Amino acid sequence: MLDFYLSYLNSFNFFELSNDSFFDFFDKDFIYFFIFFCYFVYCKKDNSLDSNIDFENASLFFEDSFFSYDFFSYLPWDSVSHGISGRMFGLLELEYPEQTSFLASLLLLPLFFMIVIVLINFREVEAIKEYSLLSSLIIFFYSLGLWLGFDNSISGFQYISSFIWSDYLGLSFTIGIDFIGLSFFVLTAALLPLCILSSWENIFYKQKEYFLLLLFIEFLLLNFFVVLDLVFFYIFFESVLIPMFILIVVWGSRERKIHAAFQFFLFTLFGSVFMILGIIYVQSELGSTDIQLFLNSKFSKEIQLFLWLTFFIPCAFKIPMFPFHIWLPEAHVEAPTSGSVLLAGVLLKLGTYGILRIILPAFDYANAFYTPLVFTFAILGIIYSSCTTIRQIDLKKIIAYSSVAHMNFVLIGLYSLNSIAISGSIFLMLSHGLVSSGLFLCVGILYDRYHTRLLKYYGGLVQFMPIFSVFFLFFSLANIGFPGTSSFIGELLIMVGAFDFNIFATILAGIGMITGACYAMWLYNRVVFWKLNFNFFTKFSDLNLREFYILFYLTLMIIITGFYPNPILDGFLLYTIDKVLIY
């Protein structure tokens, strides 16, 4: 049956029917892959894979495209300029002779996999979980192929594609990626499999909708980091709010989840109203909202001051910057574990990414003018959140407030306006995405067993959960920037760069981070070495194999980037020197 469909598809030259740019936007091999994958899912579901698919004939049909069936050998070492070749999960071999279609096809993978999962009966929960995990892993390995084919010596955008959306409005859906966007792109793709694995046994209702929502969030985030038009930048910047709102409301843990979801939604949405004003002005002045054109345009000092505010305020809500941080602790506490991982690991980076992509390169005068304001609120945020953390009684709130301190510390580096501090800020953002994810996963593991996050109930876990205690210690040390971890590299570079810019501000920020080290060690001592409370807990179990692999994967990534940061830092330094105006 498959042979018939493939032959029919091959004879029906669908991709030659139109000269419209839409049909050139995506690689036709990607469409073949989607059809084959859907058929694979259908046959696997009916246990009829071996009898229905002739892999030899199928691979012959696709010998000019991409299919083969050698297992677990996806190694895309070839440069994209010569065509990326690779094998994935024993099912397919990919040949991408053009950079443009490779990125465009990758962006659609989450949507196509969502369609596949929709076809699965909602009662087949295990199949839904397995295919969700398989889909996220495929996207992750594709993103690694994107990384391996990326030319690190070029600071500009690569894999550029464009599809005209509206000639009248001058709108084009343009995508392209530089090293900064690529770093966050891979981080997003790397965290989603962990979110799915962490939800394997603790989602008891609407499982199908839950995993579909996770893939949809990934789709929006991946597009956000590669889009090169201000209108679509804003669309993806705000669209993430909707699935995250649903995630908190439907799968939140307590009665306050409705309040937390609305607070999260309204706070961030209110800030984004200002961005609309800025985009409208840019469209009226330039006749286009293309980001590359926008970055190469010069504005007067007064206009820069106005546009800086319209773009910075929504970013400040997303970071969140003091005093716009109130929504974050509530959202973290009420969200499921995967929601907290995505929120801390990726969503908090949307604001700082917006500053890197739009504000720092475009508004040279306004950046210098508003730097004292940014420093003032960032230092207040570091000290306030560090002191507030000590008084918290909920494990998630403690980590949430520490995230506020770290992200405000990132702002110190960004507005030190020198290449060392900015590179350290970007590196710390990536590190925080890994470290905070690990901490929230540790809290989620405890909540799955004991169904409480209140600190007073915990103590003495080292006696019954020694492996968990080791991982929790590592993430706590990484959170305070212990040497050998990725956070140490980022914080050190920020301190060195900021010290040259403003010694007094650097000292104040350093005091706040020292306070953070105090509460991190106090939290670990309280949970792991305090007196064991048998009045509340009578059954104890250490990490299972699934949980061990999740935490081990994050630990390995933090150690590798902590001991060998050069490949990443070199790309960041090239970006800051070529794209950001340094003073």
Task: Return the higher-pLDDT residue of 77 and 164.
Answer: 164
pLDDT at 218: 93
Q: With bands split at pLDDT 50, 70 and 90, how would you rate the model's confidence at 532?
A: confident
Q: What's the mean pLDDT when you consider all of the chain?
A: 79
**Lowest-confidence segment of 131-135, 159-163, 403-407, 490-494 by average pLDDT:** 159-163
The pLDDT of residue 110 is above 70:
yes
545 Cβ neighbours under 8 A, 6+ residues apart: none
> What are the tens digits of pLDDT across the range 197-206?
999 988 888 8
pLDDT at 123: 86
**Lowest-confidence segment of 157-161, 243-247, 466-470 by average pLDDT:** 157-161
Task: Return the higher-pLDDT residue of 417 and 141.
Answer: 141
The pLDDT of residue 12 is above 50:
no
pLDDT at 100: 54
Rounded Cα–Cα distance for residues 454 and 258 (Å)? 20
Domain boundaries, the chain: 2-97, 119-320+328-355, 363-583
pLDDT at 373: 92
Q: State whether residue 202 is helix, strand or coil.
A: coil
Q: Cα–chain-centroid distance for residue 434? A: 10
Rounded Cα–Cα distance for residues 429 and 444 (Å)? 22
The pLDDT of residue 396 is above 80:
yes
pLDDT at 538: 65
> What are the tens digits of pLDDT across the range 452-481?
888 888 888 888 889 999 999 999 999 988
- For 300, the enclosing helix (H) or strand (E) is none
pLDDT at 66: 32
Rounded Cα–Cα distance for residues 81 and 54 (Å)? 32
Rounded Cα–Cα distance for residues 41 and 51 (Å)? 14
Cβ burial of 12 (10 Å; 0-12, 13-18, 19+) is exposed
Rounded Cα–Cα distance for residues 181 and 157 (Å)? 9
**Lowest-confidence segment of 227-231, 275-279, 409-413, 541-545 by average pLDDT:** 541-545
Rounded Cα–Cα distance for residues 417 and 366 (Å)? 12
Task: Return the higher-pLDDT residue of 456 and 245.
Answer: 245
The whole-model pTM stands at 0.81
pLDDT at 411: 92
CA distances for 270 relative to 262, 304, 313, 354, angstroms: 12, 22, 10, 16
DSSP 28-84: HHHHHHHHHHHHHHHHHHTT-HHHH--HHHHHHHTTTTT----SS-----S-GGG-E
pLDDT at 97: 34
pLDDT at 296: 87
> What are the tens digits of pLDDT across the range 44-102?
444 444 434 443 344 333 333 333 333 233 333 333 333 333 323 333 333 333 455 67
- Percent of the chain scoring above 70 in pLDDT: 80
The pLDDT of residue 583 is above 80:
no
> What are the tens digits of pLDDT across the range 411-446?
999 998 888 889 899 999 999 999 999 999 999 999
Q: With bands split at pLDDT 50, 70 and 90, how would you rate the model's confidence at 575?
A: low
- Percent of the chain scoring above 90 in pLDDT: 32
Rounded (5°) CA angle 38-110-60: 40
Span 335-343, mean pLDDT?
90
Q: With bands split at pLDDT 50, 70 and 90, how would you rate the model's confidence at 578?
A: low
Q: Which residue has the tokens 């003073």?
A: 583
